[in-house]
Amino acid sequence: MLRAAQDCEHAGKLTTHSVWLILSLMENRYKNLDRTFAALGDPTRRAIVGSLARRASASVSELAAPFAIKLPAVMKHLGVLDEAGLITRSKTGRVVTVRLRPETMREAMAWLQSQERFWSKRLDKLTAYAERKELEAQSRK
């Protein structure tokens, strides 16, 4: 799909089909972001991601150890993280090893950085406006 949209862009044409492809890609991107942020909205899942960020991989048992919840609950949390694309799981014998998928977190960070640039400019303008008004008020006294 992305290739077709790029071909249209290189040809300088914007067809109904290419518009549909672009919108479809954007919708999928935001669905992925929605899943990522929903998964990270839970403190247990954030702790699991934090634990994995400090090491290359961990077994499910190692990840479950610090929590006062049963293993099936940890497995459900891992399922949510897996569905969001934040982790991968691989099984060797009876041991399930979990690893972070950094690509998904990079996409979320890129979105957050774009929002930060947007809001930083506006907050800087608001700060400057407030400082001007404060100086005006002080000069009138």
Calpha distance 15→1 (Å, rounded): 14
User: What pLDDT was estimated at residue 5?
Assistant: 46
**Helix-, strand-, coil-residue percentages of the chain, each rounded to 5:** 75, 10, 15
pTM metric for this prediction: 0.65
What's the CA gap between 47 and 75, in Å, rounded?
Answer: 14
Give the pLDDT of residue 29: 57
Q: So what's the pLDDT on residue 14?
A: 66
pLDDT tens, position by position, 41-73: 999 999 999 999 999 899 999 999 999 999 999
Average pLDDT over residues 17-43: 73
**pLDDT band per the 50, 70, 90 thresholds, residue 21:** low
Core vs surface per residue 96-115: b (16+ CB within 10 A) or e? bebebeeebbeebeebeeee
